[in-house]
Structure 1
Amino acid sequence: MSYIGFLSDLEHEPNEPVQYYLPLDRERVPLNPYIGHEIELRYLGEKACCTCGRKAKKLFNNGYCYPCFTKLAECDLCIVKPHQCHYDQGTCRDTEFAESNCMTAHYVYLALSSGIKVGLTRKNRGKARWIDQGAIQAIPIAEVPTRKAAGEMEYFISQHIPDKTDWRKMLAGKVEECDLLEIREQIRSLLPEEYREYLLDDQEIYQFTYPILETLEKIKSLSFDKQEVIKGRLMGIKGQYLILDHAVLNIKKHTGYKIEVVLRPLG
């Protein structure tokens, strides 16, 4: 089977295991049936902005042309540093975007991917966010009314536990075991009074398994910026990564690249 189009982030459904799809323009290629099969991805030399579709020699922030990168609210610094939100100062790039994406309920959560980490996400994107990070477990700490308030709580917690994922350990399956409920209780005891009204008592730990035949002992990253053709046996998928038999490919990093994908059965 062969497909051609501009790449978007891997899409997924939280089944057991997670079901993955590769978006190429209007095509949505199911990948799970091809785990264990040969895959070839060929970069066709074109890039286009994931928002406006403008052709560009270079893309920024995982898929944006330079004008969109400098103008769109979703590319502002406060997206990666939400505690620095400046909506209240009247300097937001797009108030409509802020009202629908930032002035809404957010979870502050704990997730287990390479190790324990704290993060935040819009309430309606919890599972999608955790899968994108390759988490095998996750649990919300609090439900906070705005992204800025969630970012301030996340920043406070990040002084005690990490807020980053080691993607190599995550892909190698080298996960440090821990008790999320116990750690959540420890975090709750540290939080200032101003955050306590947002705390959740839900005991459910969300669990995720990924379609992986084998993990790699040594994680090597591939890029279309260094080679036109990437091919090998598809051994698994986790987070936004395709795991081949010799290296891994971050699909999110290549959003907006035009590629041809060929999927072949073994033999």
Structure 2
Amino acid sequence: MQYEGVLRKMQTEIGNPIQYFLVFEDSFIHMNQILDKELEISFIKYQCLNCGEDRPIYRQGCCRYCFFEIPSAGDWIMKPELSTAHLDQEDRDLEYEKKVQLQPHVVYLANSSNVKVGVTRKSQVPTRWIDQGAHEAIIMVEVPNRYLAGITEVALKDHVSDKTNWRRMLTNTLEDLDLSEWRERLKPYIPEEVADYYMSDAEELELHFPVLQYPSKVKSLNLEKSPQYKGTLKGIKGQYLLFDDNTVFNIRGSEGYYVGLNFQ
């Protein structure tokens, strides 16, 4: 079957295993159904997710011009501690920033390659954990805005990583850890103004990914360097497709690429 469209991060549904869907403008592919099938990917052009123009993608699926203009790409996205909507201060678009920043957020611990701390909107649980390829995760605090979550993450980063080793995550070089124990260990480092939001009773969630075979090592597919690729799909983890020849393809990292997909 042949499909064509611009890449956006795969949509997911919780399950055992997690269900993945690659959604285009007029169609979608249930990716779990093409496991163990040969998939051909062809890079056709760029299509900025904001302006729709055929311009090289800079970051987050956007061309360089849009990335530095649109409110959804402000610095506070990657650095929540820079959020200012709670102070009624605008970065790029105060109405948008209030809508996103002034809603419940959680600070969590996840285990994808190692224990890491992260921040996400409460409405993005467990989607955020799935996208990171975490096989277990737990909420540490739930706060009313993004700023409080951000300063908590900053405080905890001195004691636990905030990064995922994506190569270890994709080769499944993991160990099961007691995240509730880690949560208690890190509790003393929560900022004083956030202490009352500590979630001592939140339970650890286990996640199961649709993988038939993990790569023994990983080589990343870059569509700009290799605009044509064909391989047998062996698994999906995080936002990565895993192929039989150890190739891995980051769908989210390729947002804004207009591609053709063909499988039998």
* TM-score, normalised relative to structure 2: 0.96
Q: 1:200 maps to which residue?
A: 199
Q: 2:64 maps to which residue?
A: 66
Supply the distance in 2 between the matched residues of 1:190 and 1:109 (Cα, whole angstroms).
14
Supply the distance in 2 between the matched residues of 1:259 and 1:190 (Cα, whole angstroms).
46
Task: Indicate conservation of the 8 Å contact 2:71/2:93, yes or no.
Answer: yes
Task: Indicate conservation of the 8 Å contact 1:107/1:140, yes or no.
Answer: yes
Task: Indicate conservation of the 8 Å contact 2:90/2:97, yes or no.
Answer: no
Q: 2:40 maps to which residue?
A: 40
Offset at residue 104 of structure 1 (A): 0.9
Q: 1:174 maps to which residue?
A: 173
User: Which ranges in structure 1 are unaligned for 5 or more consecutive residues?
Assistant: none
- One-letter code aligned to 1:16: N
Task: Indicate conservation of the 8 Å contact 1:38/1:234, yes or no.
Answer: yes
What's the secondary structure of 2:151's corresponding residue? helix
Deviations 1:101-129 (A, max 9, x none): 11111000000100100001000101100
- One-letter code aligned to 2:47: A
What is the identity percentage for the equivalent residue pairs of Structure 1 and Structure 2? Answer: 37
What's the secondary structure of 2:57's corresponding residue? coil
- One-letter code aligned to 2:69: K
Q: 1:102 maps to which residue?
A: 101
1:243 aligns with 2:236: no
Task: Indicate conservation of the 8 Å contact 2:80/2:146, yes or no.
Answer: yes
Offset at residue 89 of structure 1 (A): 6.8
Task: Indicate conservation of the 8 Å contact 1:237/1:243, yes or no.
Answer: yes
Deviations 1:29-84 (A, max 9, x none): 1110111111101111x11111232221x112131122221111211112111112
Structure 1 residues 192, 150: CA separation in 2 closer, same or farther (over 3 Å shift)?
closer
After TM superposition, the runs of 4+ consecutive aligned structure 1 residues lying more than 4 A away are none
What's the secondary structure of 1:71's corresponding residue? coil
Supply the distance in 1 between the matched residues of 2:201 and 2:77 (Cα, whole angstroms).
27
User: Which ranges in structure 2 are unaligned for 5 or more consecutive residues?
Assistant: none
- One-letter code aligned to 2:62: Y
- One-letter code aligned to 1:65: C
Supply the distance in 1 between the matched residues of 2:221 and 2:36 (Cα, whole angstroms).
19
Supply the distance in 2 between the matched residues of 1:122 and 1:258 (Cα, whole angstroms).
29
Supply the distance in 1 between the matched residues of 2:9 and 2:26 (Cα, whole angstroms).
13
What CA RMSD, in Å, does the superposition of the two structures yield over aligned residues?
A: 1.3
Alignment size in residue pairs? 262
Supply the distance in 2 between the matched residues of 1:36 and 1:115 (Cα, whole angstroms).
29
Task: Indicate conservation of the 8 Å contact 1:7/1:25, yes or no.
Answer: no
What's the secondary structure of 2:62's corresponding residue? coil
Offset at residue 177 of structure 1 (A): 2.9
- One-letter code aligned to 2:22: L
* TM-score, normalised relative to structure 1: 0.94
- One-letter code aligned to 2:17: P
Supply the distance in 2 between the matched residues of 1:164 and 1:30 (Cα, whole angstroms).
29
Offset at residue 92 of structure 1 (A): 1.4
Supply the distance in 2 between the matched residues of 1:86 and 1:239 (Cα, whole angstroms).
30
What's the secondary structure of 2:40's corresponding residue? strand
Structure 1 residues 103, 203: CA separation in 2 closer, same or farther (over 3 Å shift)?
closer
Offset at residue 196 of structure 1 (A): 1.2
